Amino acid sequence: MLQSDAEQDADNAFAPHIPTATIGFYNGPDYGMTDIQVKRSKAIPLQFFMMFVWFACSMAQAGALRFIGGEFPFILEMQDGKPSGLAVEVIKEVARRSGIDYTITVVPWARAQALMQSGRADVLIGPYRTREREQQLTFIRWPLYIDTMSWYASTESNYQWDGNFSSLSRLRLGVTRGWTLGQRYEASKRRLQIETADSIEQNFGKLVLGRLDLVACNERTAQAASQRMPPRQSIRPLSPPITRIGGYFAYGRTTPVDPRIVEFESALGQIVRSGKLYTLSRQAGLFYPAPDTRWDSYLTELP
């Protein structure tokens, strides 16, 4: 049976390096590598040896919650070959409180979603919640971060927006593949001229070249992207914002729910209510609701 590109990518992303019989994985908040070294005796048939290696790998990974996500500025990034950012600090704090073991893998966003769908990861880091995604994923109650989504235009343009998607019907709009802009956008996008690109850098590049009129982006990503743009190629956000939307941890719709995820959600709630996530967000230069937030009403209103 032929595999799709996404399935092949999923296989390659997590395939153990069998020829050397060494399986390494992140284990615990310090990101130390734990290796299993296996040597085969000549008296052991190869097929039994390979079964033993597979069993040893499965046992070593048992109990480790497998987090996966794409690179989001300030939320999840790779630095010196290791995952970093707000999501990593939150997972570390949850692990400290709950005692869970975990791994974190950073891959392109589309591949991260494919790996979740194939069951090769347990928790997806950072997706926005939409009705479409809720058909495949269960979202943990507490948001990891809050984004303000806006349309961005070239500073040389005079485009305005009144908050109604119908006013954009004649404009060329850039949206990054795999992103969503909230429920109002999802309901309106079939009537809009949407062009997708694999990265926000590609969309902003088209914007400054005049190949797009507006590009949708969140504030933190736009800030990071604009710092890498040449001085003469500047962008500006339009007001009002498209939406304020939460990014969450999410897991597959499995029955029964993995008890490790139940522990994770409980500890995450403690971090939110205590103000720890507010503090971590402020340290990263990000917005997060204050500890005295009335969470029931806030979460009801959040897209």
Please indicate whether residue 74 or residue 47 has the higher confidence score (pLDDT): 74
Q: What predicted TM-score, i.e. pTM, was given to this entire model?
A: 0.69
> Would you state the pLDDT for residue 228?
77
Q: pLDDT tens across 48-80, in order? A: 545 544 444 444 445 799 999 999 889 999 999
Mean pLDDT estimate for the chain: 80
CATH number of the domain encompassing residue 219: 3.40.190.10
Residue 242 pLDDT level (bands cut at 50, 70, 90): very high
Parallel, antiparallel, or unpaired: how do β-strands 101-106 and 64-69 relate?
A: parallel
CA atoms of 143 and 129, how far apart (whole Å): 10
User: 55 near 85, Cβ under 8 Å?
Assistant: no
CA atoms of 216 and 208, how far apart (whole Å): 14
Domain-embedded: residue 289:
no
Question: In 28-168, which residue ranges form alpha helices assigned H by DSSP?
Answer: 46-61, 86-98, 109-117, 131-134
CA atoms of 132 and 125, how far apart (whole Å): 17
> Would you state the pLDDT for residue 47?
59
Quote the radius of gyration of the chain (alpha carbons, Å): 22
Task: Determine the residue type at 158.
Answer: N
User: 182 near 243, Cβ under 8 Å?
Assistant: yes
Domain end marker among 243, 263, 297: 243
Q: pLDDT tens across 253-299, in order? A: 876 789 999 999 999 999 999 999 999 999 998 999 998 999 888 88
Does position 1 have pLDDT exceeding 60, yes or no? no
Domain-embedded: residue 86:
no
Averaged over 4-9, what is the pLDDT?
A: 41
Does position 300 have pLDDT exceeding 50, yes or no? yes
Averaged over 235-261, what is the pLDDT?
A: 90
Domain-embedded: residue 125:
no
Q: Residue 31: which domain range?
A: 1-62
Domain-embedded: residue 118:
no
Averaged over 152-176, what is the pLDDT?
A: 93
Does position 15 have pLDDT exceeding 60, yes or no? no
> Distance of CA 117 to CAs 124, 148, 197, Å?
10, 27, 22
Q: Is the bond preceding 240 in cis, omega lying within 30 degrees of 0?
A: yes
> Would you state the pLDDT for residue 44?
53
Averaged over 118-126, what is the pLDDT?
A: 95
Domain-embedded: residue 108:
no
Domain-embedded: residue 301:
no
Count of structural domains, the chain: 2
Does position 33 have pLDDT exceeding 50, yes or no? no
Domain-embedded: residue 228:
yes
Q: pLDDT tens across 127-138, in order? A: 988 888 898 999
Domain end marker among 243, 274, 297: 243
Please indicate whether residue 46 or residue 298 has the higher confidence score (pLDDT): 298
Phi, psi (5° rounding) for residue 226?
-65, -30
Residue 46 pLDDT level (bands cut at 50, 70, 90): low
Domain-embedded: residue 224:
yes
Domain end marker among 46, 62, 78: 62
Considering 46-50, 90-94, 114-118, 253-257, the range whose residues carry the highest mean pLDDT is: 90-94
